Chains A and B, each alone.
Chain A
């Protein structure tokens, strides 16, 4: 297991949104988190890299082990956790006026990397991994905001890759994209899983079916069912899962 979530509960103030969730995230696999709106998917994802605590009044109980080490241990630096576990959001959020090059290089620059050649190498490598290089290699100095939505999302993926994370968290990464751009991102995730461990939150259960190896079904903050995607989509064990997957509620 790359990540092990152990009896994780989360609150916003007095409002508990995760109830003792336990699950393992396998290395070099894609794990999907599905469930109706408001069930706590985003919260769970944000607990995996200590972003949840950035919200005022937010609180976490339980453990999240990354390679066996609890990321909530007081000795652990949350910034380092977020470097090892990168995140891509629903809406592409490049820095619109910053150049394509700097959008990718920003993380390294902030970390103090000055070596121009090193920066170029990393930017090219990440843009290639994000399947964007061919489309932007001749306009690296143009602003990131001028790219299409799908390209912007791949730019954000390249940015997330630049700090050499081990795990990538995607929160509905294609919901703002057209079907072709969405398919590109899906293909990209499938190629990235060779090197990274991926967790994706999605509203699109067909997307979960297409890309993920394991699926977690969350309902009202409770992990109802978790298992191999192919098994869950053929023979879900739990009645609630069945009803959600077959569109009886959403």
Chain B
């Protein structure tokens, strides 16, 4: 009896572990796509590069497909392997994280739209805070990636909160600055609003990565946290 149980457990884990690992790799790939989309969308805005705009659109499409594949993989595992405990938390949370990352690609695409719309106009102002926000989002995604790889979430809350706070600060700074532009240069108010949207999208991305980090803490520790 003991041996039979053991071998049954073993078989079950082989299939489940393979599936969990696959989901992990797919989410890491999606994270890579999201980072690339964020980086390119801001460069496209700054450099007025049609090529980079197109690249962002392409990445966004890939993120949609990948997100769907991740969901399929997770649902298959849930249906066939009856995951519980960490396995269950992992599957449910990875579906959410994948959704969040796909949303980040959507937001990068919105930034690319703005870049496309304003491609023939000079920049309202040199872009400094916006690329800084983008860089922070990418850093946050990388910190999450490291946690996904190692399962270590001990520093996650602290590291992400610091960066998310900085993004929020940069956002309100940008907001105030752009309101100033709107007052002083009313004929370019539409450009100021576009730029404000860019900043808002980036701030939203920060939230999404922070929410994803909270999910990672739940996976590893079973603890519900709010990183905000």
Contacts and interface: CB of A to CB of B under 8 A. Distances in A.
B165 to A, nearest CB: 29
Contacts of A241: 85
A203 B2 CA distance: 11
Interface string B53-67: 000000000000000
Interface in A201-250: 203, 205-206, 209, 233-236, 241-242, 245-250
A250 B86 contact: no
Nearest to B87: A246
A247 B13 contact: yes
A37 interface: yes
Given A37-B2, A203-B5, 13 more contacts: A38-B2, A209-B82, A234-B222, A236-B85, A236-B222, A245-B85, A246-B87, A247-B12, A247-B13, A249-B6, A249-B9, A250-B2, A250-B6
Interface string A149-174: 00000000000000000000000000
Interface in B1-21: 1-2, 5-6, 8-10, 12-13, 16
A171 B25 CA distance: 42
A143 interface: no
27 contacts: A38-B2, A209-B82, A209-B84, A233-B85, A234-B85, A234-B88, A234-B89, A235-B85, A235-B89, A235-B222, A236-B222, A242-B86, A245-B84, A245-B85, A246-B83, A246-B84, A246-B85, A247-B9, A247-B10, A247-B16, A248-B9, A249-B6, A249-B9, A250-B5, A250-B6, A250-B8, A250-B9
Interface of A: 36-38, 203, 205-206, 209, 233-236, 241-242, 245-250
Contacts of A36: 2, 5
Contact of B88 (A205, A206, A233): A233
Contacts of B16: 247
Contacts of B85: 233-236, 241-242, 245-246
Contacts of B222: 234-236
Residue of A209, A235, A236, A247 with most chain B CB atoms under a 10 A cut-off: A247
Q: Across the A-B interface, give the 3 residue pairs with the lowest CB-CB distance, nearest first.
A: A235-B222, A250-B5, A250-B9
A246 B86 contact: yes
A79 to B, nearest CB: 31
A41 B10 CA distance: 22
Interface of B: 1-2, 5-6, 8-10, 12-13, 16, 82-89, 222
A205 B84 contact: yes
Contacts of A236: 85, 222
A208 to B, nearest CB: 10
A237 to B, nearest CB: 8
Nearest to B5: A250
A37 B84 contact: no
Contacts of A245: 84-85
A241 B222 CA distance: 14
A249 B10 CA distance: 8
A196 to B, nearest CB: 27
Contacts of B84: 205, 209, 233-234, 245-246
Residue of B5, B85, B86 with most chain A CB atoms under a 10 A cut-off: B85
